[in-house]
Amino acid sequence: MCIFCKIAAGEIPANRIYEDDELIVFKDIAPIAKIHLLCVPKEHYARLSELTPAREAVLARALRLIAENAVAWGLGEGYRLVVNQGENAGQSVQHLHIHILGGERLGWGE
Ligand code: AMP
């Protein structure tokens, strides 16, 4: 079982801030911004190329969940979503996840 499947199954701890039957949101263990959350579909798959209509619906819901909770999660001044895919992006966990970055002014191309 991959590390995010273990977190979803409650087998290893994580600093969870939201959970339902399809999605989990927890704090990244090695934050690269003042606020760094991960929004993870509980179903295991690694790539956007593996999307199906059902997975697509969960991801769309993930985006709405993030938007609806942005203020509550301290992201009211703005945030950035990142989905690393594959080797060149440095994807280190092969279970699809959305990075949610914010809580400060984020650099871009500097
Ligand atoms: P990526 O490089 O896009 O695959 O992102 C994987 C992210 O998962 C990294 O930012 C890691 O810091 C984070 N991570 C790895 N293990 C854990 C964990 N046990 N709890 C929380 N975040 C984790």
Cα of 30 vs centre of ligand 1, distance in Å, is 7
Residue 87, C-beta contacts closer than 8 angstroms, at least 6 positions apart: none
Is 97 in the active site? yes
The Cα–Cα gap between 14 and 90 comes to 22
Of all residues in the chain, the percent with pLDDT exceeding 70 is 100
pLDDT (0 to 100) of residue 40: 98
Q: What does pTM read for this prediction? A: 0.98
pLDDT of residue 92 exceeding 90: yes
| CA 75 from centroid of its chain's CA atoms | 14
Task: Give residue-wise pLDDT tens across range 11-38.
Answer: 999 999 999 999 999 999 999 999 999 9
Cα of 81 vs centre of ligand 1, distance in Å, is 14
State the fold for domain 3-79.
Answer: HIT family, subunit A (3.30.428)
Phi, psi (rounded to 5 degrees) for 79: -160, 170
